[in-house]
Amino acid sequence: MYKNAFDCLVQGVYIVSSCTENERAGLAAAWVMQSAFKPAMLAVALGPTRKTAEVIEKSKKFSIQVLDKKQKEIGELFGYYSSRNVEKLKLPIVEGVIAYFECELVGRFESGDHVIYNGLVVNHKLLNPHGEPMLFSMRDWF
């Protein structure tokens, strides 16, 4: 049963990551959307205290990976621990993701207690055409 209007919003769960020469960071994000069709752009809303936001500010680029329903443990690792304390990104592409996008930062908008990073998609690949994207809804994810 829905408890309020926000519960009716449905999102996916994604790994958003970024790196400079010296550091890398990544997190789980539900607030990801396609923000333009031509050229293709993707946007993500991040809390400014996230280490990943700090690295995006420096690198001006980020990647987005689409988690499969089977990858809840990976989502928990990226969503419950900060890159400040844990090395989450053993490899740039997380094993088992359905697809990834590489984006160059082209816009940055303050949005209340979050910042929206808008990225131009410069590379993308579908890795598993049979995958089922994880969903985030009613504050639960599955």
CB of 91 to ligand FMN, least distance (A): 16
CB of 126 to ligand FMN, least distance (A): 22
Q: Which stretch binds ligand FMN (CB under 6 A): 29-37, 60-68, 92-100, 120-128?
A: 29-37
For every residue of 44-69, DSSP letters joined together read EEE-TT-HHHHHHHHHSEEEEEE-BT
Q: Is 62 in the site for ligand FMN (CB under 6 A)?
A: no
Which residues, numbered 71-100, are part of the site for ligand FMN (CB under 6 A)?
A: 75, 78-84
Which residues touch 1 (CB under 8 Å, ≥6 apart)? Answer: none
Structure tokens at 100: 């990834």
**Whole-number Å distance between alpha carbons of 118 and 64:** 12
Instruction: Name which of 22 and 129 has its Cβ closer to ligand FMN.
Output: 22
Q: Is 27 in the site for ligand FMN (CB under 6 A)?
A: yes
Which residues form the interface with ligand FMN (CB under 6 A)? 13, 25, 27-31, 45-47, 50-52, 75, 78-84, 136, 141
